[in-house]
Structure 1
Amino acid sequence: MINKILNILKVDTRALYQKHDKFWQQEVFFKSVNNRFKYFEDLCQSKKVLHFGCTDWPIFDPSYNLHIKLSKVASKIHGFDIDKEGIDNLKKYVDQPFYSEFEQLNNQHYDICLVPETIEHVDNVRIFLQGLSTVNADVFYITAPNCFAQVHMKRNFYGKNKIIEVVHPDHNCWYSPYTLKNQIEKYSNLIVTDVILLNDDTMVCCKAIKSKMYK
Structure 2
Amino acid sequence: MKNLFGKKIKKNYEQFSNYWVQKVVHKRKKNRFAFFEEYCRDKKVIHFGCTDWPIFDPNENLHIKLNEITNILHGFDIDKEGIENLKKYVSQDYFSDFKDVNENYDVCLIPETIEHVDNVRTFLENVSKIKSKIFLITAPNCFSKEHLRRNFYGEDYFIEVVHPDHNCWYSPYTLKNQIEKYSELKVIDVILLEDDKMICCVAEKV
Answer whether TM exceeds 0.5 for this pair.
Answer: yes
Residue aligning to 1:193: 188
Q: For 1:151, give the aligned amino acid.
A: E
Q: CA RMSD in A?
A: 1.1
Structure 1 residue 42, shift from structure 2 partner: 2.6
* Alignment partner of 2:140 out of 136, 145, 154: 145
Q: Does 1:113 align with 2:108?
A: yes
User: Which stretches of structure 1, 4 residues or more, deviate above 4 A after TM superposition?
Assistant: none
1: distance between equivalents of 2:201 and 2:142?
Answer: 15
* Alignment partner of 1:84 out of 80, 83, 104: 80
2: distance between equivalents of 1:70 and 1:17?
Answer: 43
Give the paired residue count: 198
* Structure 2: segments with no counterpart, 5+ residues: 1-8
Residue aligning to 2:118: 123
TM norm structure 1: 0.90
TM norm structure 2: 0.94
1: distance between equivalents of 2:189 and 2:77?
Answer: 25
Matched residue SS, 2:45: strand
Structure 1 residue 160, shift from structure 2 partner: 1.5
Return the index of the structure with the highest Cα Rg. Answer: 1
Q: What CA deviation, in whole Å up to 9, does each residue of 1:106-145 have, x standing for no partner?
A: 2x00000000000000000000001001100000000000
Q: Say which structure is richer in helix.
A: 1
2: distance between equivalents of 1:80 and 1:16?
Answer: 45
* Structure 1: segments with no counterpart, 5+ residues: 1-12
Structure 1 residue 14, shift from structure 2 partner: 4.3
* Alignment partner of 1:156 out of 151, 156, 161: 151
Call closer, same or farther: CA 1:188–1:204 in 2, change over 3 Å: same
Q: What CA deviation, in whole Å up to 9, does each residue of 1:17-68 have, x standing for no partner?
A: 4431111000100000000011112321000000000000000111111000
Matched residue SS, 1:19: coil
Q: For 1:133, give the aligned amino acid.
A: S
Q: For 2:108, give the aligned amino acid.
A: C
